[in-house]
C-alpha cells in the first residue's frame, strides 16, 4: 500500500459516499485510476465494507452500556446475542469475563430487562455509558499529521 492508497483510505473513512471523480480530484488521479485502486483494496480486504452510522438518540435509543459477561454455555449465549437487536457488538475477551458486549436500548429500564434476560446464561456486570467524549476515531490519521509513514 503506497501513499496514494493511504490518501484514498483517509478520504473514504471520512466520507464513504464520496464520488470517485471527487476523490480523484482530492488526490490528483483520474476517476478510472481511483476506481481501480479502490477495487484492488476491496479485493485485498483492506476495505471490508461501507456503513452508515446512525445516531442512536435520533431513533429513540437513549441508553447504551457495555456488559462484561461470564457465560455458562458459550453457544447458547452467542445464539441469544445474535437473536437480540439490543446487542450491537460482541467481543470474545480474556480474563475473568469471556465476553464484552455493547448494548443499546431505548431506556435504562430496558437495559435492566436485558440484564434479566441474560441471567440464565451466566453472570455479568453492566457499565452504563454516561457520555462518549471520544465516540469514534479513524484508523488512518490526518494527512496533515505526517503519520502516514507508519503504514508503509
Q: 122 forms bridges with which residues in the sheet?
A: 71
* Residue 136 belongs to a domain: no
Please give the residue range of the domain that contains residue 88: 57-128
- pLDDT tens digit string along 66-113? 999 999 999 999 999 999 999 999 999 999 999 999 999 999 999 999
- At residue 102, the pLDDT reads 98
In the chain, the percentage of residues whose pLDDT exceeds 70 is: 93
* Residue 149 belongs to a domain: no
- At residue 151, the pLDDT reads 44
Cell 446464561, residue? Answer: 121
Q: Global pTM?
A: 0.78
* Residue 9 belongs to a domain: yes
- Is the pLDDT reported for residue 137 higher than 70? yes
* Residue 134 belongs to a domain: no
* Residue 63 belongs to a domain: yes
- Is the pLDDT reported for residue 57 higher than 70? yes
How crowded is the C-beta side of 22, counted as CA atoms within 13 Å? 7
* Residue 31 belongs to a domain: yes
* Residue 8 belongs to a domain: yes
Number of domains within the chain: 2
DSSP label at residue 140: S
CA distance 152 to 144: 16
Based on C-alpha coordinates, what's the Rg of the chain?
20
Amino acid at each position: 500500500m503506497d501513499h496514494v492508497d493511504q490518501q484514498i483510505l483517509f478520504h473514504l473513512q471520512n466520507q464513504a459516499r464520496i464520488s470517485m471523480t471527487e476523490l480523484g480530484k482530492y488526490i490528483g488521479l483520474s476517476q478510472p485510476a481511483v476506481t481501480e485502486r479502490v477495487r484492488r483494496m476491496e479485493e485485498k480486504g483492506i476495505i471490508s465494507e461501507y456503513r452508515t452510522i446512525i445516531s442512536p438518540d435520533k431513533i429513540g435509543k437513549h441508553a447504551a452500556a457495555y456488559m462484561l459477561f461470564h457465560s455458562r454455555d458459550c453457544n447458547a449465549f452467542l445464539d441469544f446475542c445474535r437473536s437480540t437487536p439490543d446487542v450491537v457488538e460482541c467481543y470474545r475477551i480474556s480474563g475473568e469475563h469471556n465476553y464484552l458486549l455493547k448494548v443499546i436500548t431505548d431506556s435504562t429500564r430496558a437495559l435492566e430487562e436485558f440484564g434479566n434476560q441474560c441471567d440464565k446464561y451466566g453472570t455479568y456486570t453492566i457499565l452504563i455509558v454516561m457520555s462518549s467524549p471520544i465516540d469514534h476515531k479513524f484508523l488512518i490519521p490526518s494527512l496533515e499529521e505526517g503519520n502516514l509513514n507508519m503504514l508503509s
